[in-house]
Chain A
């Protein structure tokens, strides 16, 4: 009886230590998780900032300004545009309709 009790006490102590270790490990992992979450947040902020930067850079006004001022581009006059239509029955009909 006494021996069994000793044995059970040892088992109990082992279990208790196990709980403590497990808890400790959980907290370590949890801290790692928190750190990753923080990184995620930071990356998301960065992503937002990059998106903002991109949309500021591609505003129509800016593109137009660069195209006209730096690249000397312009919208062609209608008279200098050649329209190529693919010859399907439908297009043919349209062409007939609009021809003066």
Chain B
């Protein structure tokens, strides 16, 4: 069979042209699309593509450490884990829920409430748990529960340095004390970098140009000596409790540089356990509370009188009969002391004597003395919330006010200001700036009184701690001690309260070459004793002798226990 030849069909030419045209059109549109994607819309697509494999990763920056002057750690950040959940994703069996609740130390119902929160994609289950527990939680392999690493601040000293250091909140930001005052220095700055991850989530490459290096916080070296700090806090706490007082504070300064070697208050809190914190305990009383300094101010009145030549140490004043009428008010001494020299006025703390000296001077002269000694002005220690105290302008002083101010009433100061003021007696007449940070270069002071006056006052203050003075309990065997007691009625609602007192003592040792200034205040001692010499002076003595021992300060009044090695032993026999 022969197939008949197919008849050739003549197609019309337009059909092939149409097909050709359509193909060309398709090609053009493809080319145009390609050009559009490649050329004009390229950036957007590049980004889209990159987001599939590249990630921005944060780089941790630790908060700086805080150390004491000898490099011992007082605050350090350590990593801890935080567990969070995405309630929308979480699927959990009741049994696992119980296990998880147990590990988190929460009740199952509380946990369940957290996990079923609606409209939330992020819930912290627990923050700052130890890494071991976190590991166990992740081994439960519950969907929607994740782990993140955070850092937590630890304070090895606990309550012993609480008020100095302060603490940070859960987000690692300083809230109190040094942590707050030096937040800028301590806080680190997170770094970032863009990296390429593979399908297993491993980082395989990074974009060098995108790296922003993390800036770790700087370490801070405080002036505090933690051994003295410990001694000060332990003695203060014991004394406050023994005297059934409301509160107490103590400040230890380096007598030559003004560095704060210790500063502590009671009541205190433990910064590692936030639950112990309340407002009463939080108060850094030594810096933010002001009080009337009482007799501890007398040396300044006498110093300016010596300086301007109104009196000298041996000038005799009549203080009998122990009272003195100024205007309509009467100034009283504890007892009738009769005729006293200026030195004895300080030694026995006579209000009448001091007032008489004060009223022989112009108010302006006294005001300038107090002002230059730093009363009424901030110490600029860098501490948050520091109080400046009140020193009223001299042109509004009435004679009675000038008289009472001379022995520390009608003027208010913080404990740190009072301690700072005493640097003029320990450093030969210069007021030294106080500092919470260790000073590596010698500090410049501001001259307030002459070296001779400073020395003369120092002699008087030494007499106050000797028999016949107000503070024999401040003595330390082996050392010469100088200091001044203060006992003031407490101001409550603008009036002097009858039965509440503030007992203070400020002193320094060794008197021949002072190393430490210690200021102690006990607020409302109510166990019978309330004189500064009976309440505050013993604390001074204990802390001071501790500090002198710790730093091996040679005694300047040895009690026949010095062995002197001489180059030629024969000489010894002759001597």
**Interface-side segment among B287-295, B300-308, B531-539, B556-564:** B556-564
Inter-chain CA distance A55–B234, complex, in Å, is: 18
A41-63 residues at the B interface, CB under 8 angstroms: 41, 45, 48-49, 51-52, 54-56, 58-61
Give every chain A residue within 8 A of B160 (Cβ-Cβ): 59-61
Distance in Å: Cβ of B478 to nearest Cβ of chain A: 4
Pairwise interchain contact B561-A59, C-beta atoms closer than 8 A: no
Task: Enumerate chain B residues within 8 angstroms of A41, measured Cβ to Cβ.
Answer: 60
Q: Does B78 contact A52, Cβ atoms closer than 8 Å? A: yes
CB pair A59 B230 closer than 8 Å:
yes
| Interface status of B202 (Cβ within 8 A of chain A) | yes
Per-residue interface assignment for chain A, residues 25 to 55, with 1 indicating a CB less than 8 Å from any chain B CB and 0 otherwise: 0110011001000000100010011011011
Complex Cα distance, B556 from A37, in Å, reads 57
**One of B69-77, B97-105, B246-254 at the interface:** B69-77
A84 sits at the interface (CB 8 A) = yes
A34 lies within 8 A of B203 (CB) = yes
CB proximity of A31 to chain B, nearest CB, Å: 6
Provide the main secondary structure of the chain B interface.
Answer: mixed
Find out whether the CB atom of B478 lies under 8 angstroms from the CB atom of A78: yes
Tell whether, in the assembled complex, residue B566 and residue A60 are in contact, meaning their CB atoms are under 8 Å apart. no
A55 touches B73 (CB 8 A): yes
CA distance A27 to B566 in the complex (A): 75
Asked whether, in the complex, the Cβ of A31 is within 8 Å of the Cβ of B562, the reply is no
A78 to B478, CA, bound (A): 7
Asked if A95 meets B564 with Cβ closer than 8 Å, knowing A30-B205, A78-B559, the reply is yes
Bound-state Cα–Cα, A91 to B62, Å: 49
Contact B157 A83 (CB under 8 A): no
In the assembled complex, the Cα of A5 lies from the Cα of B154 at a distance in Å of 71
Q: Which residues does chain A contribute within 8 Å of B156, judged by CB atoms?
A: 52, 55-56, 59
Contact A58 B72 (CB under 8 A): yes
B479's closest neighbor in chain A, by CB?
A78
With a cutoff of 8 Å between Cβ atoms, the chain A residues found around residue B478 in the complex are 78, 81
Contact across chains for B562 and A60 when beta carbons are under 8 A apart:
no
B549 within 8 A of A: yes
Question: Closest residue to B229 on the A side, CB-wise?
Answer: A60
Contacts of B561 in A (CB 8 A): 78-79, 81-83
How many A-B contacts if CB must be within 8 Å? 96
A31 with B204: CB separation less than 8 A: yes
In Å, the complex CA distance between A20 and B78 comes to 42
Question: Residues of A within 8 Å of B, CB-based: how many?
Answer: 36
Whether A48 and B204, one on each chain, are in contact in the complex, defined by CB atoms closer than 8 angstroms, is: no
CB distance from B539 to the nearest CB of A (A): 17
- With an 8 A cutoff between CB atoms, is B384 at the interface? no
Rounded to whole angstroms, the CA-CA distance of A90 and B62 in the bound complex is 50
Decide if B121 is an interface residue (CB 8 Å cutoff). Answer: no
Contact with B along A61-100 (1 / 0, CB 8 A): 1001000000000010111011111110001101101100
Complex Cα–Cα for A54 and B78 (A): 14
Q: When the two chains form their complex, are residues A95 and B549 in contact, meaning their CB atoms are under 8 A apart?
A: no
- With contacts A55-B76, A95-B562 known, is A83 near B554, CB below 8 A? yes
Q: How far is the CB of B156 from chain A (nearest CB, A)?
A: 4
Chain B residues 177 to 209 lying within 8 A of chain A, measured CB to CB, are 202-206
Q: List B210-252 residues whose CB lies under 8 Å from chain A.
A: 226-227, 230-231, 234
Q: Name the A residues within 8 Å of B157 (CB-CB).
A: 59
A52 contacts B230, CB within 8 Å? no
Q: Which of the residues B62, B76, B158, B477 comes within 8 Å of A78, measured between beta carbons?
A: B477
CA distance A30 to B60 in the complex (A): 20
B567 interface residue (CB < 8 Å to A): yes
**Which residue from A26, A59, A91, A98 sits with its C-beta under 8 Å from B557?**
A98
Query: How close is A26's CB to chain B, nearest CB, in angstroms?
Result: 7
* A60 and B230 contact, CB distance less than 8 A: yes
Interface presence of B565 (CB below 8 A): yes
Specify which chain B residues have a CB less than 8 angstroms from the CB of A61 in the assembled complex: 160, 230, 234
Contacts of A75 in B (CB 8 A): 549
Q: Which residues 6-40 of A sit at the B interface, judged by CB distance below 8 A? A: 26-27, 30-31, 34
**Contact (Cβ within 8 A) B77 A48:** yes
User: Which of these, A49, A52, A79, A85, contacts B562 with CB under 8 Å?
Assistant: A85
Contact between A26 and B554, CB atoms less than 8 A apart: no
Q: Are B564 and A87 in contact (CB under 8 A)?
A: yes
Question: Which listed residue, B79, B234, B557, B558, touches A45 by the CB 8 Å rule?
Answer: B79
Alpha-carbon distance A68/B31, docked complex (angstroms): 91
- Complex CA gap A12/B62 in Å reads 49
Option from A51, A83, A87 in Cβ contact (under 8 Å) with B558: A83
Tell me which of B203, B512, B564 contacts A85 (CB under 8 A): B564
Q: Would you call A83 and B512 a contact (CB within 8 A)?
A: no
Cα A48 to Cα B567 in complex, Å, equals 51
Q: Which of A26, A55, A82 interacts with B72 by CB under 8 Å?
A: A55
The chain A residue with its CB closest to the CB of B231 is A60
- B296-339 vs A: 1/0 string, CB under 8 Å? 00000000000000000000000000000000000000000000
Q: How far is the CA of A91 from the CA of B566 in the complex (A)?
A: 11
Residue of B nearest to A28 (CB): B204
- Chain A CB within 8 A of B555 CB: yes
Chain B positions 53 through 64: 1 when the CB is less than 8 Å from some CB of chain A, otherwise 0: 000000010100
26 A-B pairs in the complex with CB atoms less than 8 angstroms apart: A26-B205, A27-B204, A27-B205, A30-B203, A48-B62, A48-B77, A48-B79, A52-B156, A54-B73, A56-B156, A59-B158, A59-B160, A59-B226, A64-B230, A75-B549, A78-B477, A79-B477, A81-B478, A83-B554, A83-B558, A83-B561, A84-B562, A85-B554, A85-B563, A94-B556, A97-B512
Residues of B within 8 A of A (CB): 60, 62, 72-74, 76-79, 154, 156-158, 160, 202-206, 226-227, 230-231, 234, 477-478, 480, 512, 549, 554-559, 561-567
A-side residues, CB < 8 A to B, are: 26-27, 30-31, 34, 41, 45, 48-49, 51-52, 54-56, 58-61, 64, 75, 77-79, 81-87, 91-92, 94-95, 97-98
A48-B76, A97-B512 given. 10 additional CB < 8 A pairs? A30-B205, A55-B73, A55-B156, A59-B156, A60-B227, A84-B563, A85-B554, A85-B564, A92-B564, A95-B564
